[in-house]
Amino acid sequence: MPQMNMVQAINDALRFEMRRDSRVLCLGEDIGKVGGVFRVTQGLHEEFGDDRVIDTPLSEGGIIGAAIGMALYGLVPVPEIQFGDFIFPAYDQIVSELAKYRYRSGGEYPAKMVIRTPVGGGIRGGHYHSQSPESQFIHVAGLKVVCPATPADAKGLLLASIRDPDPVLFFEPKRVYRAAKGEVPEGDYTVPLGKAALSREGEHVTIIAWGAMLYEALDAAQKASEQGVECDVLDLRTLWPLDIDAIVASVKKTGRVVVVHEAPKSCGLGGEIVSLINEKAFLHLEAPPKRVTGFDTPFPYTLENEYLPLSHRILPAVLETARY
């Protein structure tokens, strides 16, 4: 089984699906001959040509609007937004049109497509290249939201997303584009949407994370173990729909939970997760749930490592929760 980083795994998934299904095409800024700003689409233009790997003008609304039109006519577009921060000029197209076509047409026009975009901090990108906008799309009925943490999951989840009948926001944690490496199966396989993965088992505290923060959660769990606190670490993988069964099962086992995400704390996905835990597992809780998140400020440039919920911020929350 070959070793790949996340960039290679996503590229492999796109290449495989474009060979398998002639309806699949990619479009976005600089994704063709350049191969994308992070080189995720490198080599696809040479194989599939201008008709299926389309360099677009710098217009996110235009990219998504064109992709929606393609989807309504039976193609399966995979548009790329160069950075997640740039998705907002296309927000109206996504939430007012794309998210609603399947519902408003009674399933006649499902507008099947996947919007890929890199998200999160960790590359010194400042406040215009580091945001995590997942909660702003999770709130919109009709969209699915995915954020892989490992190369194998990135390939399997992307293949599943492209084949899914609903529109999917596929958020790629750019901090681990090349830092995360692992074995990736060759050929065809999918990771089902809506299923979390238990990345580490423990009995005292549940840590819930996704994307690049999974690795910070695992590091904090290892350091907590050295102090006698063993953690379940749950990688959500699909942010919406949530695998609430996996969350509840872990919380019932440990009685304690810490949720970690890069986005600001207020109205972040962590708040929804805590609310669902209170609704479905309240009598099993032995301590108040904690959130370790970004702050309610613009993403800073020079203070990036203070803003991000890295291991050194997660560990105290885990220990405090364990000892409550």
Q: Which residues contact 286 (CB under 8 A, 6 or more apart)?
A: 255, 256, 324
Percent of the residues in the chain that have a pLDDT greater than 70, as a whole number? 100
Residue 160: C-alpha distances to residues 78, 142, 146, 227, 233 (Å): 13, 17, 10, 39, 23
Count other C-beta atoms under 10 Å from residue 105's C-beta.
Answer: 12
pLDDT in tens, 134-163: 999 999 999 999 999 999 999 999 999 999
Query: Which pLDDT score is estimated for 265?
Result: 97
Read off the pLDDT band of 126 (50, 70, 90): confident
Whether residue 124 is predicted with pLDDT greater than 90 in this model: the reply is no
pLDDT in tens, 38-93: 999 999 999 999 999 999 999 999 999 999 999 999 999 999 999 999 999 999 99
Whether residue 208 is predicted with pLDDT greater than 90 in this model: the reply is yes
Catalytic residue among 45, 129, 204, 261: 129
The average pLDDT across 269-273 equals 98
- Measured at the CA of 150, the angle between CA 145 and CA 151, to 5 degrees, comes to 100
CA 116 to chain centre: 10
Query: Which pLDDT score is estimated for 125?
Result: 85
Rounded mean pLDDT of the chain? Answer: 97
Query: Which pLDDT score is estimated for 244?
Result: 98
Query: Which pLDDT score is estimated for 171?
Result: 98
- Catalytic: 129? yes
Residues of the chain with CATH 3.40.50.970: 3-183
> How many whole angstroms separate alpha carbon 261 and alpha carbon 310?
10
Whether residue 30 is predicted with pLDDT greater than 90 in this model: the reply is yes
The average pLDDT across 263-274 equals 97
Instruction: Tell which CATH classification among 3.30.56.10, 3.40.50.720, 1.10.1040.10, 3.40.50.920 matches the domain 197-322.
Output: 3.40.50.920
Domain spanning 3-183: CATH superfamily: Thiamin diphosphate (ThDP)-binding fold, Pyr/PP domains (3.40.50.970)
> How many whole angstroms separate alpha carbon 204 and alpha carbon 155?
32
Read off the pLDDT band of 7 (50, 70, 90): very high
pLDDT in tens, 92-110: 999 999 999 999 999 888 8
